[in-house]
Amino acid sequence: MEGTRQRILEATYTCVARWGLTKTTVEDAAREAGVSRATVYRYFPGGRDELVDAVVSWQHLQFFARLYEEVQGSTSLEEVLERGLLFARQAVLEHEVLQKVLQTEPNVLLPKLSVESKRTVGLISGFLVPYLHQHGLAPGVDIHDAADFVARMILSYISSPGHWDLGDPEQVALLVRTELLAGVVTAPG
């Protein structure tokens, strides 16, 4: 059963890559997956909207699984943030389907990403709490507020780095020290 659901998600993703979010239909996804429309509706009773939302969520989770693998083994908060930012920005830029949909259908994709953003902030902040605890916080800083702040700033810089070159490890290290962690933790190491 789970194999069929996964096949439908992958097929829908292929269709979105080919035609975009708004032009992908349940029929397209069924044909690409080699299943009937009824099978797609069995797994996604909400139809096309539920199917597209599920694909966005699936890709979102795939991204964070890869990000987690990238920062595994980091020994400090700074290293987690630096490795994570370097990976995340590059992954976003290289994700062909994401870039295509952002160019052609941002009004369709951005609301779906906004729905995911609350969960994303929660995932990132929850992941950062042990590192923040281990590092030590500046006086008067609440650990959960700090994790939430850093998570939101990370997401902001990934999508819009401003003058920072997130492909340059030295600039990323400087960004982490001077903007992400300044005032949040005791003097970064």
User: pLDDT 10s per residue in the chain (189 long)?
Assistant: 679 999 999 999 999 888 888 889 999 999 999 999 999 999 999 999 899 889 988 988 898 889 889 999 898 999 999 999 999 889 888 888 877 877 777 776 666 666 667 788 888 899 899 999 888 898 999 999 999 999 989 988 988 889 999 999 999 999 999 999 988 988 655
* Residues 102 and 45 both lie in one domain: no
Q: Are the C-beta atoms of residues 52 and 143 closer than 8 Å to each other?
A: no
Domain, as residue range, for 19: 1-58
* Residues 54 and 86 both lie in one domain: no
CA angle 157, 159, 163 (to 5 degrees): 50
* Residues 99 and 156 both lie in one domain: yes
| Mean pLDDT of all residues belonging to the chain | 88
The CATH number of residue 115's host domain is: 1.10.357
Whether residue 66 is contained in a domain is answered as no
* Residues 51 and 87 both lie in one domain: no
pLDDT digits (tens, 9 = 90+) for 100-114: 877 777 776 666 666
At residue 185, φ and ψ (nearest 5 deg) are -115, 165
Whether residue 65 is contained in a domain is answered as no
* Residues 91 and 18 both lie in one domain: no
Q: Are the C-beta atoms of residues 16 and 48 closer than 8 Å to each other?
A: no
* Residues 140 and 169 both lie in one domain: yes
The domain total for the chain is 2
Whether residue 82 is contained in a domain is answered as yes
